[in-house]
Chains A and B, each alone.
Chain A
């Protein structure tokens, strides 16, 4: 197979400096991801297991909630179908994010900092962000949070489980109607991690429901802007982390 020849480290274009053009950057990203997909496909059974078990997680979570709906009439006045729409949108969004940003997954990235893999990446003649993005790709599976989580591992070395509150916690929180939560928690996911704009506000608008938590008429359209601002913030933090990075010495 050609995968060995095209391994990420060898496929970096012959640029002299780190300032790659946008097109070269895209090309490099495409090659890195291509190599990842080829390597995933070498282990077909393992890939099939991953694929099925990811589906199984979604199935099991949905089934538990759907079955419990038989006992109760509604979840905070929302029907099963309406909650399913919330769950579906957040799951698709989150899995797409995981697929693109898994290189920044704090647990995997923490290991690369601990074992010195990140030092090796720094020596290669290509942009750091691009390389980390291209270092892993999950075919089966809010990028900004992953980048922040990974940056923290520069200082903590080990990944911190608490970041799950923001990522998976956000996902869990966003899969049911926001108005059921305590105002304090709602504020946290409006101002600190602005998840409320990503699916709750648009879904409320789409279903023609009354906005029960007073987000205002512009809220359903804010998601792209909120996403952009969060991403810019996360990348700035990432740059700051890279500048202050001290290797673990391994």
Chain B
């Protein structure tokens, strides 16, 4: 535990030094947020509410979904796949530590920097430009924080799992890319899932993706309340545990296959 804490802390300090990169990323995420907000506003036109979303909810959705791009690494993450292909994995597996825990600690440090540099700042920038929704009860804030942490766990668990495909395929990058593209649609990142017809939402719910962006958004906006919130958080926890366990099993199988050439 102590080891993972140290790894996470170092990763946090490493990432927090890249201020220029963070600023550039921030500007990009914010600008795209403005574009997406304009599209949703044009869709709404004169209607005040669609599928449970008010205009204010929809604008806040674009800010929130842009804010989690960094912390949840929504666009791409092939670090583990690269470590497997380069053979770096072999020396890390020799160390007396848990390989999945090692990457989880690194990802936690990185996610926390992104949350501070990008997540919080984008929401502040949004609050300056738009009239956004801000939760008013302590209960909703608490549920939101738990939802973000669990969403990160689900996100890390599936990213780690698909990266392990590198043990079997030299084209793992393509497989990982597929998963990411599907996640943009099914997580409710491109558009809120409530705007989709029921049968599409049900298809999405066969995947872990809605338990990342969509749950965060619905809890923050208060679109679900009471016991529904508890159920949503439990569903996140279930997917996190299931995917982490699957990751461990697949890692075991992968280790058996691993052949690293010397040199």
**Interface of A toward B, CB cutoff 8 Å:** 45-46, 49-50, 53, 56-57, 60-61, 63-65, 67-68, 70-76, 158, 160-162, 164-165, 169, 172-173, 176-177, 180-182, 185
Task: Report the separation of the CA atoms of residues A46 and B173 in the bound assembly, to the nearest whole angstrom.
Answer: 9
| Best-buried of B34, B35, B184, B197 by chain A (most CB within 10 Å) | B35
B28 contacts across to A, CB distance below 8 A: 161-162, 164-165, 169
Listed A/B pairs (20) with beta-carbon separation below 8 Å: A49-B171, A49-B173, A53-B178, A60-B182, A60-B184, A60-B190, A68-B43, A68-B195, A72-B43, A73-B45, A160-B24, A161-B21, A162-B24, A162-B25, A164-B28, A172-B32, A172-B35, A181-B35, A181-B38, A182-B38
Known: A46-B174, A165-B27. A180 touches B42 (CB 8 A): yes
Question: Does B4 have its Cβ within 8 Å of any Cβ on chain A?
Answer: no
Measured CB to CB, the nearest residue on chain A to B183 is A60
Question: Does B39 have its Cβ within 8 Å of any Cβ on chain A?
Answer: yes
**Interface of B toward A, CB cutoff 8 Å:** 21, 24-25, 27-28, 31-32, 34-35, 38-39, 41-45, 47, 50-51, 170-171, 173-175, 177-178, 181-182, 184-185, 190-191, 195-197, 200
Known: A70-B197, A162-B28. A64 touches B42 (CB 8 A): no
B39-A63 in contact (CB<8A): no
Task: Report the separation of the CA atoms of residues A173 and B37 in the bound assembly, to the nearest whole angstrom.
Answer: 11
Known: A53-B177, A60-B182, A67-B197. A169 touches B35 (CB 8 A): yes
Q: A65-B191, A161-B21 are in contact. List 20 more A-B contacts (CB 8 A).
A: A46-B173, A49-B171, A49-B177, A57-B181, A68-B191, A68-B195, A71-B43, A72-B43, A72-B44, A72-B45, A75-B39, A75-B42, A76-B42, A76-B45, A161-B24, A162-B25, A173-B35, A180-B42, A181-B35, A185-B38
Secondary structure dominating the interface of A: helix
Task: Report the separation of the CA atoms of residues A65 and B184 in the bound assembly, to the nearest whole angstrom.
Answer: 13
B191-A64 in contact (CB<8A): yes
Measured CB to CB, the nearest residue on chain A to B34 is A185
B43 contacts across to A, CB distance below 8 A: 68, 71-72, 75
B200-A67 in contact (CB<8A): yes
Secondary structure dominating the interface of B: helix
Task: Report the separation of the CA atoms of residues A158 and B181 in the bound assembly, to the nearest whole angstrom.
Answer: 26
B39 contacts across to A, CB distance below 8 A: 75, 176, 180
A160 contacts across to B, CB distance below 8 A: 21, 24
| Best-buried of A57, A67, A185 by chain B (most CB within 10 Å) | A67
| Best-buried of B42, B178, B196 by chain A (most CB within 10 Å) | B42
Leading 6 A-B pairs by shortest Cβ distance: A49-B174, A180-B42, A76-B42, A162-B24, A64-B190, A161-B24
Closest beta carbon of chain B to A220's beta carbon, Å? 22
Task: Report the separation of the CA atoms of residues A249 and B152 in the bound assembly, to the nearest whole angstrom.
Answer: 39
Measured CB to CB, the nearest residue on chain B to A177 is B42
A180-B34 in contact (CB<8A): no
Task: Report the separation of the CA atoms of residues A180 and B37 in the bound assembly, to the nearest whole angstrom.
Answer: 10
Closest beta carbon of chain B to A68's beta carbon, Å? 5
A68 contacts across to B, CB distance below 8 A: 43, 191, 195-196
B178-A56 in contact (CB<8A): yes
Measured CB to CB, the nearest residue on chain A to B177 is A53
B195-A71 in contact (CB<8A): yes
A177 contacts across to B, CB distance below 8 A: 42
Task: Report the separation of the CA atoms of residues A61 and B25 in the bound assembly, to the nearest whole angstrom.
Answer: 22
Task: Report the separation of the CA atoms of residues A158 and B23 in the bound assembly, to the nearest whole angstrom.
Answer: 14
Task: Report the separation of the CA atoms of residues A76 and B175 in the bound assembly, to the nearest whole angstrom.
Answer: 37
A169-B32 in contact (CB<8A): yes
Known: A53-B181, A162-B27, A172-B32. A67 touches B191 (CB 8 A): yes
Measured CB to CB, the nearest residue on chain B to A71 is B195
B21 contacts across to A, CB distance below 8 A: 158, 160-161
Task: Report the separation of the CA atoms of residues A195 and B235 in the bound assembly, to the nearest whole angstrom.
Answer: 44
A180-B196 in contact (CB<8A): no
